[in-house]
Structure 1
Amino acid sequence: MELLRPEGCALLTVECQRGVVGPDSALPELAAVAQESGALGRVAQLVAAAHDTGVQVLHAVAERRADGRGASRNAPLFRAVERLPVRQLSGSAAVEIAEPIPVAPEDLVVRRLHGLSPIAGTEVDALLRNLGRRTLVITGVSANVAIPAAVFDAVNLGYTAVVPEDAIAGVPASYTPAMVRHTLALAAAVTTADEVAACWRRTAVTPSRSNFPAP
């Protein structure tokens, strides 16, 4: 698949943070689905494949300041988040990337304090343009909100969106395939994690790590 050539492609992990998909999640039902479906493990496999083939990885993290300054409050979801027992506070363990996802020095972590989307109002678009990446592989959670928001924003900004349907999760578990079939497939190329990784490996020229100095 030409659009998945590593030199023009980036991988976005969405809210794959300990406070969302980890064992101490603020959203235990979502965390359970992400883990039990294998989606979280497949995100980790894609990140590892990206590191090996020169695909740029971006981790999108949702967090908030302890004082809540700048946080969105104009939707029921935001108000519900304020009442959760686990808070996604900046600098806390909750906003660290969850295991088993590997994080490399060349990865970019984009943190947002507001909104529903990991792209709108964040650095993602500017970073992708500076890196010359025009295809965005979108993974993570949730299929209910942030994943479709990312797909629509990416397409509206002129990127080609690719969704590995087995590397995203939402609640209930039955909702994700319906979202993929009836909505995401209209805006993104739908594939699987194995197919994406295999394509990267077939078309990679040099491993990404050769492009970065040793620490």
Structure 2
Amino acid sequence: MPPKNQLVEQLDPDTTALLTVECQQGVVGPGSALPELADQARSSGALDRVALLVAAAHRAGVQVLHAVAERRPDGRGANSNARLFQAAGRLPVQQHRGTDAVRVAAPIEVAAEDLIVRRLHGLSPLAGTDVDALLRNLGCRTLVVTGVSANIAVPNAVFDAVNLGYAAVVPSDAIAGVPAEYTPAMIRNTLALVATITRTDDVLACWQERPVRE
């Protein structure tokens, strides 16, 4: 955990964006294709904390982006080069474009100024999507990464953000993976080496102290 003043500076609303990763109904909602992951995201409180961070970002003027993974019904353009993709294609709930499965899940509130970035391929919310260009156009230097899963998409987002020159911040209690004990191990042994690890309350405190400038 960095010193408070350092975290406040790093999370300046003018140069920070908040990214929610795959917080969509078909992943973390009641009818999830991945019920174990959905249960962990909800029972751990991670999804509720993502919602708190999104609400605080809206109040402080921090740009919010929602990264959504989806597929075309015909699968065109989707990967098939890993067991994960092959298994996903056989799941009873499909993340098809235009369906409820790819809508941002409650209790997260999507504001008119939020940006929703959708991808049809790959593992990363950043690589091969519009996120980098959008962040640069917004003058962003810090990316706060939240959501699921700590197994794959969240570390992909963190690594890609760092490779692109952004400072990555991870509220450790606002991400989830399976099994439950995997998430703290991933944070401690991997993400802590490349990102600032903090907690939701600390991020909320920073944004309360640094209201949006007139």
Q: TM-score, normalised to structure 2's length?
A: 0.96
Secondary structure at the counterpart of residue 57 of structure 1: strand
Q: 1:167 aligns with which of 165, 169, 174?
A: 174
Where does structure 1 differ by over 3 angstroms across 4 or more consecutive aligned residues?
A: none
CA deviation digits over 1:150-178, x for unaligned, max 9?
Answer: 00000000000000000000000110000
Q: 1:38 aligns with which of 19, 42, 45?
A: 45
In the alignment, structure 1 segments of 5+ residues that lack a partner are: 208-215
The residue that corresponds to 1:151 in the other structure is 158
Q: 1:203 aligns with which of 180, 193, 210?
A: 210
Report how far residue 197 of structure 1 moved: 1.2
Compute the RMSD of aligned alpha carbons: 0.8
In the alignment, structure 2 segments of 5+ residues that lack a partner are: 1-6
Q: 1:77 aligns with which of 77, 80, 84?
A: 84
Secondary structure at the counterpart of residue 94 of structure 2: coil
Q: In the alignment, is the contact (CA less than 8 A) between 1:39 and 1:168 conserved in 2?
A: yes
The residue that corresponds to 2:104 in the other structure is 97
Identical-pair percentage: 71
The residue that corresponds to 1:109 in the other structure is 116
Matched, 1:133 2:140: yes
Report how far residue 183 of structure 1 moved: 0.3
Q: Give, in whole Å, the separation in 2 of the partners of 1:74 and 1:148.
A: 19
Q: Give, in whole Å, the separation in 1 of the partners of 2:13 and 2:45.
A: 24
The residue that corresponds to 1:27 in the other structure is 34
Q: In the alignment, is the contact (CA less than 8 A) between 1:5 and 1:204 conserved in 2?
A: no
The residue that corresponds to 1:16 in the other structure is 23
Amino acid at match of 2:157: A
Count of equivalent residues: 207
Report how far residue 206 of structure 1 moved: 4.0
